[in-house]
Amino acid sequence: MFIGRLIGAERVAVGEVVFTTAVVGYPQALTDPSYKGQVLVFTMPLIGNYGVSEDQFESDGIKVEGVVVFEAAAPSHYRSVMSLEEWLVAEGVPGLARVDTRALAMRLREHGVLMGALGPEEPGELLKRLRASLRYEEVNYVDLVSVKEPRELGDGRLCVGVVDCGVKRSVLTEFLKRGVKLKVVPCRRPELAFDCDALFVSNGPGNPKLLDFLVRQVREFAEYKKPLFGICLGHQVIAMAFGAGVYKMKIGHRASNKPVKDLVFTGKTYITVHNHGYAVDPRNSGLRVWAVQPDDGTVEGLYHESLPILTTQFHPEASPGPQDMRWVFDMFMKRMERHAGR
């Protein structure tokens, strides 16, 4: 039990408690659909010091269930329109401040991620709510963050179909910068984008093992031998479509400073943004590993030797964070252009 000062909405939140070691980027993290269903703990002690502005959002609003910080700082930035506390109140999201987030992170490192309840009620009542709630891995959160109807963005010669499992705005921006048209479709209807020149399966929240419906349709698309690209959850879905396994990590990778070693294309080690609690075991899939996390050997990128397939477990769009890996989008674009030119 951790006691702090309630900030934000005066209500109870239940979710999987995870932590991020990112130093900057709290607006992007809180609005990242991949955090749906989770209570996010920031190990950086000062959160909120540059306020809130919508140009930093990765979606239409806060997606985390709750927030835990050491100090909710008063903002000081010319673009800020409100404080962190005001933002949480406006969006109905509860949080705790003045919590020993270092001790909490150490607890999670020791035991692995845990379900937790946060709010203004007595500990006994919070415990009852926690015990009555579904576990994180039992809920299909993708359906809660995906678009409901298809939409198109951009006006390029080539079309990328985006299967929206909770796609970040910065991912869409990276594609649009490269002059393509995007057809964004619901995660339940990827076939609506099969007529595009390539298919992209996005990042998103939750347990990939609950996405059998999407795995089957990605496997069907792969039979067309068109370019296929996936980031984070999309990486896991594509891997499963080829027979790979996935497993839940003890604490996952959530940071903006994780090293990734490129084993195939450049041989270099890059600093990258991560947000994943599951990982891929590519054995028996026919997919090859091109990137790993050198600290623990987690598979961070896959490709196919004869098909135009590329995936990353990390986030090459890196918003916010180092821009080391944005060339992955360029590499995929070249593959798509070559395929379209056949």
Residues that are catalytic? 232, 315, 317
Q: Residue 148 is encoded by which pair of tokens? A: 């409901």
For the chain, the farthest-separated pair of C-alpha atoms sits apart, in whole angstroms, at 65
Q: CA-CA distance, 283 to 178, in Å (whole number)?
A: 33
Closest of 242, 233, 277, 221 to residue 17, by C-alpha: 277
The answer to whether the CB of 262 falls within 8 A of the CB of 315 is no
List beta partners, residue 117.
Answer: 14
- Angle at which helices 212-222 and 233-241 cross, to 10°: 70
Q: CA-CA distance, 336 to 332, in Å (whole number)?
A: 6
Q: E-assigned strands of the chain?
A: 5-8, 13-20, 38-42, 46-47, 66-68, 71-72, 94-97, 114-118, 151-153, 159-164, 181-186, 198-201, 228-231, 245-262, 269-281, 288-292, 299-303, 309-312
Q: CA-CA distance, 172 to 153, in Å (whole number)?
A: 9
252 dihedral zone (left: phi>0; alpha: psi -120 to 50; beta)? left
Q: CA-CA distance, 161 to 190, in Å (whole number)?
A: 8
